[in-house]
Structure formats: structure tokens, C-alpha cells
Structure 1
Amino acid sequence: MAAVCLLLLVALLELAKGSDAGTSVFVQTGGDLNLDVTENDVPKDFIIFLWKFGTKGVVVTFYPNKQPQVQSPYTGRIESFENKFSVKLKNLQKKDSGVYIARLTTAEEQILTEYNVTVQDPVSPADLTVDSVSITPDSSSCNLTVTCRTEERNISRTFSCINRICNQEPRDRSKVPNLRAPLHMYLLNETIFCNHSNQVSWTESNKTIQKSCTAKTRNRDGLSVAIVIFLVIVAVIAVTAVACYLRKRDKRENEDNTIYATAMASDNHTQNESPADDAEHPSPITTYSEVNPTRIRPAETESKGMPESLYALVQRPAT
């Protein structure tokens, strides 16, 4: 009885030892897992050799001089190697995470090797964005606050650059990134990196501090120039508008003065002109001068055979 208890104790110690010595393996979802064992570790007189999936069942069983037998849940997913005791388990899913054990039965049972398998999905992309940039007036100092986001979480950090020497802000020193964490941010050579990773995949995003600070400086200077240009344009428009107004006002005043002068001249001309009836009724003086300004000579009258005019007879002097 004591001997049996001793054998059981040894078996338990061997099992514990094998479990502690198990190899940790991480496989991306949909990937393959190689379950390897050295052929020399399997003696020719073995009774049975099998790969087990923890306590959930047998994956594949080997018998001497027979083809391996794949259990139904793994049909079509097992591929054999030249080493006939090593296999490849294909298209792993998260439910396939667990301990895979190579168990050998001869006169006694023993565990040859173990694989502690974890199946993981690839990580989501990391998006690093600049939340704010503040620059001193002389551009000697630049503070940059950035946030790294993933589908699961996000982290923010503030970095400061003085005379092109960049460091993490003192208030963030307590947030020293854990490089083993799934999501961490760090500064390297003036470049901020955000890394999202697990044991099967990783993704990274980065921002250059000086590039972000320079862009902010250009935007600030560009805005200042734009404001100056805008003010100049407004001033030019205002001056032009005032000049046009004064020009139109002077032109209108000149036109009013011209109209007034023309009206006055017309009134004076109307007053100096004779009435229209004067043309139809000539003055006596004019008629007299035209009828007979001098005495008509008799010789001319006689030559024409006409009697003297009444006017001539009336004006003839007495003899």
C-alpha cells in the first residue's frame, strides 16, 4: 500500500512538473498551431500516444503500426508531419484556447509536453490625434496634448518642447507608460508613438511634435497676415467709397450751379427782347424812313409816267 501511494505521489509530481514546464503559445484567430513532440521520446513499444485538449477530450490518437485517429470535433483540421507524432491544428478559434497535452502510455503513463495556447483576435487600429497645441509668442516653447484611441479604450498625454528639447509634462510623469500594456504611448526622438498590441498583433500611430508645432506657428502667422490684409482691404474700400461720394457731390453741385446760371441768363434775355407784336407793327420811325426818307424827285416821276405821291404833294413847299 505504501508503494502504491509513493507511485501516485511521483505521478502527481511529474504531472505538476510537466504543467509548470508547459510552453505558452499565442495564436491569432484563424491561425494554425503546431503540436510538436520529438519522435525519439516515443518508444517503439508504446501502447498508445495521444494529444489531449485539457479535460475536454482527445484530439488525435496514435497506435503502433496504425494510422492516427482524429476525433470528430477536429475532423478536417488535423494535418500530419513527417514526424508522425507531430500534428498541425488548423483554423483555431477562441474556444480552442487551453492546454494541449502529449500523453504517452507504456508500462505507465507520462506527459511528454504541454502547450498553453491562447487564441487572440488582432488588435484594433490606434488613432493618435492632437487635441491642443500652445506656443509661446517667441515660439521657443510648445506644449502638445495628444490622445490615442482604440475601439476599447483611450489614453491622453501632454508633451512639452523647449528649444526643440521635448519631454513628458511633469504632471504626467506618474503615468509612465507600461510597455507590456495593450495600449501605451511614449516619446522617442521628438516623435510621439502610440502602440496598441497583444501577443499576436500590433498597430502603431505616431505624430512628430515639431511638425505639429510648426504647423501651429504657420497657422498663427498666417492668421495674423490675413487679418492685416483684411484691414488693408477694408481701409482701401472705405477710402474709395469716400472719394466716390465727394466726387459725386461736387458734380451734383456743379450741375445745380450751371442750371441756375442758365435760368438767369434766359430770364435776362426774355426781358431785353421786343414783344412779338412789334414785328408785325413796325414803329413809325422805321416806316417813315422806309417810305420816304427824302423827297422824291419830279424827274423820276415824270420819267415813269406816274403822278407824284400824295406824300410828295403834301410835303412840297409853297412857292
Structure 2
Amino acid sequence: MICLSLFFSFSAEISVFVQTGASVQLDIQTQELPEFDDLYWKNYKSENIVRYTNESKKEKLHSSYKDRVDFNNKTFSLTLKNMQKTDSGLYTAIATAESDNNIVTYRVSVIDAVEAPVLTVNSNWFSGNFCTVNFTCRAHELMIDSSYQNNRCSKEEVTSQINTLILDCSEESIICNHSNPVSWKEDQISTTQLCFNKEKNSMSVQTDSSLLGSVVGLMAACILICLSVFLYCRCKKGAQEEVVEDSSVYAQVKVEAQTQEEVGGNGPNTVYCTVGQHQRPTTPPKPSAITSDDT
């Protein structure tokens, strides 16, 4: 059973709000009842929910309420269970004797629990110890636009039928509260996170930027070093290939010279040997013709 809000009017009706699915207890308001033969609790359909006979001290429940009501035969209160919106209406206690007396009448309204409000920050600005936050508190058809300045804001309230939206602030938080007679829900935002941590976040961003710049510079230096090493190795490799090539030519010339020495015997052991020595003709030259003057 939930705690109910009661609203008295100038008539005999007592307004009661109950949340959907909950129970409600309807009490006899007078301390002493007049003498009666029977006591009835009637609903808005004029159905007798329960009939209590004073002489027999017994009660009789309506067939449609047998599993949904409890009747106290000492206090004559009536408890209705698992209330639905279709159960909204008037409930009256009547004592009968020589005439009927309306003891008490309740106007029961079955309503749903409120939906949770939403607190949205539109913008915030922080400088030194001064913080400004523009925000919106919204729930269903209700809305409040306000600002949090210099650690405070003005308390505001708007209503629509039975729903109420309240905005309030403290040094630590902004509070948006949505309520009706049977329930309430709220949303909060920490002003510490919005204001004082903003400067820290800014410093953190600057630190991260400096760190990122250092990392980028280090990576660039590494790339330049790697490129220099690569070029150096490439140049050194080219030089080594030239030396090897020259060595190969020299070795080839040396081998050819040794081969020529082995073939030619005592020929000179020089590069010239690889080309070949000058060969004298083997046939002696023919004697020149004797002229008449010689004879």
C-alpha cells in the first residue's frame, strides 16, 4: 500500500490519488457511528462492494470484488487492491437504519507514475571562479529553460493538471524534479563536472597536444635517421661492388698472365704476355739480286 495525498474540499468528497496497480484504503472518518442495521460500501456504479450486517456481524462481498478487497469489521474500512484506471470514481460508505446516512465519500483517481525528467546542458562557460551553465529541464509537456550563474540559480516551478516540474540548484548540482500525487522522479547534473573540471580538461588537452607534438617530432627524427642509414648502406654497397669488380678484372688479368707463362715457357711475365710476344720470321730472307756492278 502506498502513502496517499488527501485533498479536502468544501463538499463531503475526499479526493484520493492512487498509483496504477497499487492498493488504497478508504477509512470511516467519524469516531463514532450512529446506530445502524447495515453498512454498505458502494462504488460509482452503485454496486454494493461489501454489505455488513450489524446483527450477525457478517459481511457479504460483491462477486466481482471477492479477490480484490479487504473489509475490516472493527473499523469498517475498505481496502481496494490492484487498482486500475477503470476503477477511478466515487466510493461511498452508507449506514442504514430507519433512513440512509452517507458517512463518507471518496473520489478516487487512479494515475500512472510520472516519467523521468531530462536535464540537458545547452552551453557552459568557465573562467576563474565564475561558471555559467545554460540548461533545459523537461518532462512530458512541461519545460523550464534557465541558467546557473555564480554557483546558484533561481528556483522555478511549472504545473500541468496534476503534474509538477521543479527546478532547483545547489553549489554541487542542478536538480530537475518531476512529480504527481503518487510518484516523483528527478535528474541531476554535477556542477563540479561542468565547471571546475572544465579547466582541468583544458589543461589536459594542452598537455596531450604537447605530448602529441613531441611524439610526431620523435617519429620524424626516426624516419630521417632510418633514411640516412639506408642511403649510407646503399652507397657503401655500391662502392663495395666497384671494388669487387676491379678486383675481378685484376684477377682475370693475372690468371691470363700466368697461363701465358706456362704456355710460352720463359716469356716475360708481364701484361704484355697476355697480348702475345713479337715473333721473328723463321724463314731467312732471300738474298737480293746481284747486279752487274758487283761482278
TM-score (norm 1): 0.64
Aligned counterpart in structure 2 of residue 276 of structure 1, from 256, 259, 265: 259
Aligned counterpart in structure 1 of residue 176 of structure 2, from 178, 185, 194: 194
Aligned counterpart in structure 1 of residue 86 of structure 2, from 92, 95, 98: 95
Give RMSD over aligned pairs: 3.7
Q: What's the counterpart of residue 216 of structure 2?
A: 234
Q: What's the counterpart of residue 10 of structure 1?
A: none
Q: What per-residue deviation string (whole Å, max 9, x for no partner) do you get for residues 287-307 of structure 1?
A: xxxxxxxxxxxxxxxxxxxxx
In 1, are the aligned partners of 2:125 and 2:195 still within 8 Å (CA)? yes
Identical pairs, percent = 23
Aligned counterpart in structure 1 of residue 110 of structure 2, from 119, 132, 154: 119
In 2, are the aligned partners of 1:33 and 1:92 still within 8 Å (CA)? no
Q: What's the counterpart of residue 49 of structure 1?
A: 39
Q: How far did residue 244 of structure 1 move? A: 1.8
> Within 5 A, what are the aligned runs for 1:51-70?
51-54=41-44, 56-66=46-56, 67-70=58-61
Distance across 2 between alignment mates of 1:19 and 1:102: 18
Distance across 2 between alignment mates of 1:154 and 1:40: 46
Q: How far did residue 88 of structure 1 move? A: 2.7
Instruction: Choose 1 or 2 for highest CA Rg.
Output: 1
Secondary structure of the residue aligned to 2:49 is strand
TM-score (norm 2): 0.68
Distance across 1 between alignment mates of 2:10 and 2:105: 7
Matched positions, count: 256
Q: How far did residue 202 of structure 1 move? A: 1.7
Q: What's the counterpart of residue 194 of structure 2?
A: 212
Q: What's the counterpart of residue 24 of structure 2?
A: 32
Q: Which amino acid aligns with 2:153?
A: N
In 2, are the aligned partners of 1:36 and 1:86 still within 8 Å (CA)? yes
Q: What's the counterpart of residue 135 of structure 1?
A: 125
In 2, are the aligned partners of 1:141 and 1:160 still within 8 Å (CA)? no
Q: How far did residue 156 of structure 1 move? A: 5.7
Aligned counterpart in structure 1 of residue 147 of structure 2, from 159, 167, 170: 159
Q: What's the counterpart of residue 133 of structure 2?
A: 144
Unmatched 5+ residue regions in structure 2? 1-8, 269-295
Unmatched 5+ residue regions in structure 1? 1-17, 286-319
Q: What per-residue deviation string (whole Å, max 9, x for no partner) do you get for residues 88-117 of structure 1?
A: 333322222222222334444432222222
